[in-house]
Structure 1
Amino acid sequence: MSSHASKKVIYAALVGNFLIAVTKFGAAIFTGSSAMFSEGIHSVVDTGNQGLLLFGMRQAKKPADKMHPFGYGMELYFWTFVVAILIFAVGAGISIYEGIQKTLEPHPVDNIHINYIVLGAAIIFEGFAFSVAYKEFNAARTKDNFFEEIQASKDPTIFTVLFEDTAAMLGLLVALVGIFCADYFQIPELDGIASIVIGVILALTAMLLAYEAKGLLIGEAASPDLVERVEQIAGDHPAIDGINETLTMHLGPRDILLNLSLDFRNDLPAGDLENVVSYLESTIKAEFPEIKRIFIEAQGGTEPSGSAN
């Protein structure tokens, strides 16, 4: 998926969440609804999260230097992990706290119709942001199973927004049901319980996002299809007797490090070996532009040598 598509999703979510946050807080102040206040906190956290993702994308584009010879691509993974922490600590924490307070000290929700109007508008805004994120997610899908695609994805910007928007839609529905039931049955504690449920939804979202971000941070290999094709390119060359090891790691969504350990023919002259290495590098990069760096190690029958880009 292109960087432009990722930014499109994030900007759509950022604008939508900002507008929703303003309307939710206005309704919460006017009506005294705990669930609406929790939803306002949720939207503020989401707005901040989109800002952090945009910052992470900007940092990831910084060129490599002496201190970071492989570049800054993994900055995006770090800021995705920070987003998960914020959702858990701020969004879930405040929502659960507010819900407990409202349950222990219940008070009726005033001007209930204001909440319905705001929640209805919020569902429309969130639905639009969700549709944009889901459309971009589907455009880049390579697997039929949704959760397998999430696990295989190396671009956290799309699935982060998708997770947030899904949690937001669920939270809005919970708030709507909680406020309605609190008013209809005259049980104001239900408004607080709805806030707690929203907090639990946010906590589960944060844990799932943190799990995915952790895998990217500690280093994930490229897709099996890419590795298989690279080994096929190397194995088909007549100068190579075998492949000892293929190591890959994503340094960013579109930045892969490749290390190949190859068994070259024993009678291959050193000059020819260099030509073969150059051919493999150019051929692999031509087919997979996301492979930015290739290290080739020669083993078996010749003195070890290496080539790096």
Structure 2
Amino acid sequence: MSGESPKAILYALAANTGIAICKYAAAAFTGSGSMFAEAIHSTADCGNQLLLLFGLRQSREPPTPLHPMGAGRAINFYSLLVALLLFFVGGAFSVYEGVHRLIAREPLQYAYVALAVLGISVVLEAFSLYGALREIRKGSPTKSLWRWARETRDSDLLVVAGEDIAALAGLAIAFAAVLLTVITGNPVWDACGSIGVGVLLMLISWFIAREVKSMIVGESASPEMRRDIEAFLRARPEIRGIISLITLQWGKEVVVAVQAEMIDYDHSRAMVEAINVIEADLQAKFPVVRWVFFEPDFVKR
């Protein structure tokens, strides 16, 4: 995410806190299992956003002898924690609550209150998702949402967008479940809605965890950035050919390791100076590239 990430997370935290309070009140007033599941979901979202804020703060810690490249990837760890919380606190508990109410068959009271709260929540969550999508479009204006989710290196933005999508879809399920309960008078629909919300949350959290795990293991820079860096290097007159190029996403920043065959120089000092110029120009063109490791070599012919 961009430098506006903390602001976006704070907005989402404030909105979800208000939504959670309304949902708990509506769940207690109506006895709706689907509403209670949604309240648990909103509570999990609040905790998740606090974890993301903490993770962003940790990722900005300066380099130390123990962590010479800084703590940029700390945000990936906290994003994984968020995905696990979304699975267990949001998803598994919602399924448990739905199964419990399916067995108990507790009647739903004041259903129109639940429907009103769910409708208001849809509007607020849609506004939050719009903010996340706007951030996504800033960096990837031409990509589909699915392609962006598979290729993004912004774990915190992936979590926020995933939570918002899960919230909207969950609200739609809960709204349909409560409405069917009102129409049929059968509380089974409400219990099934709670189970449906839980299953949805578990599926989305599994997807987020899988993507973030790949980032923790170590991913290259985005395909576009890697192509641009390679094209930049191949266009340099000082370089005869690229032997090897490795990029590594390190939180919000990128590590670049280059092995290249240089043109002929009269002495080693001139080659070192040429490499220094290439590294400075590379970092000027790609500000996210913080570390450049350049090895001159030659191709055996």
The two structures share one fold, judged by TM-score above 0.5 = yes
Q: How does 1:1-309 map to 2 (within 5 A)?
A: 1-4=1-4, 6-253=5-252, 255-265=253-263, 268-300=266-298
Deviation at 1:286, TM superposition (A): 0.8
Unaligned ranges ≥5, structure 2: none
Per-residue displacement from partner, 1:243-284 (whole Å, max 9, x unpaired)? Answer: 11000100012x100000112345541111111111111110
Unaligned ranges ≥5, structure 1: 303-309
Q: TM-score normalized by structure 1?
A: 0.92
Per-residue displacement from partner, 1:219-239 (whole Å, max 9, x unpaired)? Answer: 111133433333344334444
Per-residue displacement from partner, 1:11-40 (whole Å, max 9, x unpaired)? Answer: 221111110100111111111111111000
Q: Aligned residues: percent identity?
A: 32
Q: Distance in 2 between matches of 1:133 and 1:88?
A: 21
Q: Distance in 2 between matches of 1:219 and 1:31?
A: 48
Q: Distance in 1 between matches of 2:299 and 2:185?
A: 84
Q: Distance in 2 between matches of 1:198 and 1:206?
A: 12
Q: Given residue 254 of structure 2, which amino acid in structure 1 is its aligned partner?
A: I
SS at match of 1:3: coil
Deviation at 1:2, TM superposition (A): 2.2
Q: Distance in 1 between matches of 2:88 and 2:41?
A: 11
- Do 1:10 and 1:157's aligned partners in 2 also have CA atoms closer than 8 Å? no
Q: Distance in 2 between matches of 1:291 and 1:241?
A: 22
Q: CA RMSD in A?
A: 1.7
Q: Distance in 1 between matches of 2:154 and 2:240?
A: 36
Q: TM-score normalized by structure 2?
A: 0.94
Runs of 4+ in 1 over 4 A off after TM superposition: none
Query: 118-127 or 200-209: which moved more?
Result: 118-127
Q: Distance in 2 between matches of 1:237 and 1:183?
A: 69
Query: 194-203 or 213-222: which moved more?
Result: 213-222
SS at match of 2:153: coil
